[in-house]
Amino acid sequence: MMINNEDSALPEVSEDEAWYDAEIAPALAALAKRCFERGMAFVAAVEYQPGNQAGTYCMTEGAGLAMEMLNLCAQTAPNVDSYIMHLRKLCKERGQDISGSFVLRGIGA
């Protein structure tokens, strides 16, 4: 099991970030572990101030596409191009039919 408590904040820690790190991140990690033990994927994201977010992600093998999409979005935001490219790669790896996607077809998926 891999739990990822990622924080993409600036090096200087704000009061809200410090509170999140001390109070919320450990609780989310515990919840993610409990979900994983039951075979459930877990994605949580928070924006503790505009433009600064953190999250906890714990994916199970064989998680559904919607959950994988949430995970990718949470980890690549706000870079839409990165999200689309990672989604394209994920769909190819899974053999996911993306023929109905105008965007993915447009980039050669």
Question: Per-residue pLDDT averaged across 19-32, rounded?
Answer: 96
pLDDT band at 27, cuts 50/70/90? Answer: very high
Domain with 10 in it: 4-62
pLDDT confidence bin for 100, thresholds 50/70/90: confident
Q: What's the domain count of the chain?
A: 1
Query: Does residue 44 sit within a domain?
Result: yes
pLDDT digits (tens, 9 = 90+) for 67-89: 999 999 999 988 999 999 999 99
Does 27 map to a domain? yes
Q: Tokens 């190819």 correspond to what residue?
A: 92
Q: Is 73 within a domain?
A: no
Residue 12 placed within a domain: yes
In the predicted model, is pLDDT for residue 8 greater than 60? no
In a domain, 24, yes or no: yes
In a domain, 45, yes or no: yes
The answer to whether position 43 is within a domain reads: yes
**Mean predicted lDDT score pLDDT of the chain:** 88
In a domain, 26, yes or no: yes
pTM, two decimal places? 0.76
